[in-house]
Structure 1
Amino acid sequence: MREIQSINPFTEDVVWSHELLSPEDADQKVDLSFEVQKPWARLEESDRLGCIQNLGNLLLEKKSEFARVITFEMGKTFASALAEVEKSANMFLYLSEHFPKWNSYNEIEMPSGKHRVTFQPLGVTLGIMPWNFPLWQAARFAAPSLALGNSVLLKPASNVFQSSKLFEELALEAGIPEGVYQHLSLDSRHMDHVIQNQKLAGVSLTGSASAGKKVGEIAGAQMKKMVFELGGSDPYIIMEDADLDLAASKCAESRLLNSGQSCICAKRFIVHEKVKEEFLELFVKEMKHKTFGDPMEESTGMGPMARKDLRLDLHDQVKRAVKAGGEILTGGSIPDRHGYFYPPTVLVDVDPQSSIYQQEFFGPVALVNSYSNEDEAFELANSTPFGLGSGIFSHDRERAGHLAETRIHSGMSVINDYLRSDVRLPFGGVKDSGFGRELSPFGIHEFANVKTVS
């Protein structure tokens, strides 16, 4: 049986080894998931939500243990990992309280009589999740699906198998019956086999656009429900009247969140030409201020990147951006030390027409360009294939909000701050950033059969 290793991105040591399932093993997991789903769905909603509440409380109880595993596997600071566990736990607790209201049926009076809209589970659902938020990504997919009465299979990225296995253990401890929530230690090469299984009803993927197109082709041929969150290259527009101290601080904080490895990090900064130099001076200072080191140390501001290959890919992007006219104002080189670190990097004036500008930089690298008028700003903001998040900094908040609604092609936008996911708000994008929504009343029914009874 093949094994896969988890490597600590700070020490570069192997911390866990995991046996990989065969395609036949995966079939057995799907069979079990299919078998237990209907009894799970037949439970009273309050009983399912009781398990979800238990899971939230268990996560809070064991948050330090879980956070340590996350930090060891993918390198984020221990403080950030703790915050991720707490956020996930609180999401379970919030959902256990508010799901009945969100999931209550609607009655519609018509001349023909009374019609009722209900929400029924689809069956077996599969989540294919990344490594950057190994608990939060799994939790926000699994929680509403479990609450509806679906069963859940979770295939995590191969470098965070230990986090996923620990979550499965806690789900059992919380009272979720065996087989209702299952971790899949499966090589990504065999996911086609699982997706094609006739017993699978739906697939949620968080990953790259190329992965989404591949999974979508397979799942679409089987007429399976899909929700895709496929990354982004979020533009933040700094207008002439913006509070530049606030903008520089918030933009740097967002760009360096999770060592720059977040789909909704601010990534491209589009600054009015009259304030470009002042913004750059403040922004570069903020970026340089972030210290990196041992992610378990309280004083560390930024951990390493999650894998060596990811750092090499990012550095290659930076070199290509320089060839496309970009000037490095800070960072841009691989440190001569252990750990997969990459310094906070600011690139200015990369050619927006270049192919590299169209890509997502998944690490602590910021691209800054200027504009002279609003049409130019929004044209640049919308010029990439992505449409996940966006932001505007302006003194005129009301006008900025109107522009965010009407001029930026994204699933989410924020004024004078940076984006954060929240259980109460829908999460998702447009264009190559995917389709469907997670979280909120809009997201919890993605894997429901919305059934009309007349």
Structure 2
Amino acid sequence: MSTITTTNPATELEIQTYDLMTEAEAVDRLEACHAAFLDWRNLSHKDRGAHLSAIAQKLRDNADELAALMTKETGKLLKDGLTEVEICAAIFDYTAKTGPDALADEERTHGANGKRGVVSYQPLGVIYSIQPWNFPLYQPVRVLAANLMTGNGCVLKHASICTGSGLRLRELCIEAGLPEDLFQVILIDHDTSDKLIEHPLVRGVTLTGSDGAGRHVGAVAAKALKKTVLELGSNDAYLVLEDADIETAVKFSVMGRLYNNGETCVSAKRFIVTDKVYDAFVEGFVAAMKDIVMGDPTDKATQLGPLSSQDQFETVKSQVEESVAKGATVLCGGEAPDRKGAYYPATVLADLKPGMPAYDDEIFGPVASIIRARDDEDAMRLANESRYGLGGGIFSQDEERAMKLARDHFDTGMIRINSFGAADPNMPFGGVKDSGYGREHGGFGMKEFVNTKAIFLP
């Protein structure tokens, strides 16, 4: 029987080994989830919300344990893990509070005489959730909370390196009173996953991952006529315009590039800097990146922990090396320390051009790409040149103009003005182009996998 072994990326020590499930075992879990859904769908939105609130409290009660586990499995800073637990609890609370109104029946009219009509949002069944390792708790929670409120069941295939986090999340949900079979965590390989997508009891599929994984899962699901929500990779551009406050731009650019060890889909990755402020920004940004303290993710003084695995380390290292071989200049970092663990330093690359990984692709680690723009208009053009469109940012002291650029011209799903942040329960999360489609959070996720029924009354 095949197994999964989790490893601490900071110490390289093995954590635990798990047996992979057979296809029959995975289908058994799916069928159990569907049976639980048949009961769950009969609960009122308010009653479902009470369960969500109980889960939120259970997460807060176990925050230290959860953060420690996520740090052990993925190398994220312990303080970032604690923040992640609180975000997850807030998502459950938000969904419990807003779900009943968001999913309530809507009165409409139909016909020339204005006869009564009702739009009703009804659950579909089991939603299959395929999630990555960078936020072991948050990634599954944002799908789970929304779909539990909708009335659906959920089957999670988590990334193998954070298997323990996925299993512990399920245990805590059950401890909080959630029906035991309604949320399942399955340990399966990719071939079995494809077969599960095709199973008639799976009514929707959601994936967070690379654009390559999105193409594959989207194709398998489309062939089976299953709706998908895909939140894929990105190469988010942060524009430093001619009137930017450089101190603000440097502060949030460092934060935006290094949050979660740089392993965030909405990290600030490309810094498109106008010629007028290029030298001032680069000087301040490189100095700040050089000062970053890298080390043990459990140490409060540490600002940058290891990458999530040796495989991820090798990927980031090769992307930097290829970019340098094609002409990129290393302004700081770029050389991995001789130490145990998947540690890669805060790195800044300049003199970038198309054809380099640091220009074209997503680097999922603490590597910043500096791109010089002639002026503000050129900066906007370069930002939109990417095949991705998940997030982005604008630094400018003219907030009204920045707002107009963000609203009317920035071809991406989320834009931060003079700030950085990852996600908020009250704002939609998702992208365009190769960054996928569909939205989560802000109430939008609750309506991604529903049967929107039109009921015509005489």
Q: Distance in 2 between matches of 1:381 and 1:97?
A: 37
CA shift, 1:50, in A, is: 1.2
Decide which moves more: 180-189 or 262-271.
Answer: 180-189
Q: Distance in 2 between matches of 1:45 and 1:235?
A: 39
Tell whether the 8 Å contact from 1:134 to 1:164 is kept in structure 2 after alignment: yes
CA shift, 1:374, in A, is: 3.0
Counterpart among 204, 218, 225 of residue 202 in structure 1: 204
How do residues 160-175 of structure 1 correspond to structure 2 at under 5 angstroms?
160-175=162-177
Tell whether the 8 Å contact from 2:30 to 2:184 is kept in structure 1 after alignment: no
Are 1:240 and 2:242 an aligned pair? Answer: yes
Are 1:16 and 2:27 an aligned pair? Answer: no
CA shift, 1:356, in A, is: 5.2
Q: Distance in 1 between matches of 2:327 and 2:399?
A: 33
Tell whether the 8 Å contact from 2:353 to 2:359 is kept in structure 1 after alignment: yes
TM-score (normalised: structure 1): 0.98
Letter in 2 for 1:6: T
CA shift, 1:353, in A, is: 5.1
Q: Distance in 1 between matches of 2:308 and 2:342?
A: 7
Are 1:63 and 2:63 an aligned pair? Answer: yes
How do residues 412-431 of structure 1 correspond to structure 2 at under 5 angstroms?
412-431=414-433
Letter in 1 for 2:77: T
Q: Distance in 2 between matches of 1:440 and 1:450?
A: 18
How do residues 47-58 of structure 1 correspond to structure 2 at under 5 angstroms?
47-58=47-58
Letter in 2 for 1:153: V
**Deviations along 1:249-284, whole A, 9 cap, x unmatched?**
101111000110000000000001111011001101
Q: Distance in 2 between matches of 1:63 and 1:38?
A: 32
Letter in 2 for 1:90: A
Q: Distance in 1 between matches of 2:398 and 2:46?
A: 46
CA shift, 1:354, in A, is: 4.3
Counterpart among 333, 341, 344 of residue 342 in structure 1: 344
How do residues 302-451 of structure 1 correspond to structure 2 at under 5 angstroms?
302-352=304-354, 354=356, 357-451=359-453
The residue aligned with 1:179 is: 181
Letter in 2 for 1:313: T
Secondary structure of 1:232's partner? coil
Tell whether the 8 Å contact from 1:386 to 1:430 is kept in structure 2 after alignment: yes
How do residues 132-281 of structure 1 correspond to structure 2 at under 5 angstroms?
132-281=134-283
Secondary structure of 1:440's partner? coil
**Deviations along 1:390-414, whole A, 9 cap, x unmatched?**
1110010100110111111101111
**Deviations along 1:94-121, whole A, 9 cap, x unmatched?**
2212211222222123433122111100
The residue aligned with 2:105 is: 105
Question: How many residues get paired?
Answer: 454
Q: Distance in 2 between matches of 1:157 and 1:384?
A: 27
Q: Distance in 2 between matches of 1:61 and 1:26?
A: 31
CA shift, 1:151, in A, is: 0.5
**Deviations along 1:149-178, whole A, 9 cap, x unmatched?**
100001100000000000010111111112
Q: Distance in 2 between matches of 1:27 and 1:244?
A: 55
Q: Distance in 2 between matches of 1:220 and 1:300?
A: 44
The residue aligned with 2:42 is: 42
Q: Distance in 2 between matches of 1:450 and 1:79?
A: 41
Q: Distance in 2 between matches of 1:317 and 1:232?
A: 15
With over 3 angstroms needed to count, the CA separation of the structure-2 counterparts of 1:6 and 1:408, relative to structure 1, is same
Percent of aligned pairs with the same residue? Answer: 39
CA shift, 1:334, in A, is: 1.1
Q: Structure 1: any 5+ residue segments left out of the alignment?
A: none
Q: Distance in 1 between matches of 2:355 and 2:243?
A: 27
Secondary structure of 2:443's partner? helix
TM-score (normalised: structure 2): 0.97
**Deviations along 1:358-410, whole A, 9 cap, x unmatched?**
11011000000111133321221011210000111001010011011111110
Decide which moves more: 258-267 or 35-44.
Answer: 35-44
**Deviations along 1:327-374, whole A, 9 cap, x unmatched?**
000000111001111000000121135465211011000000111133
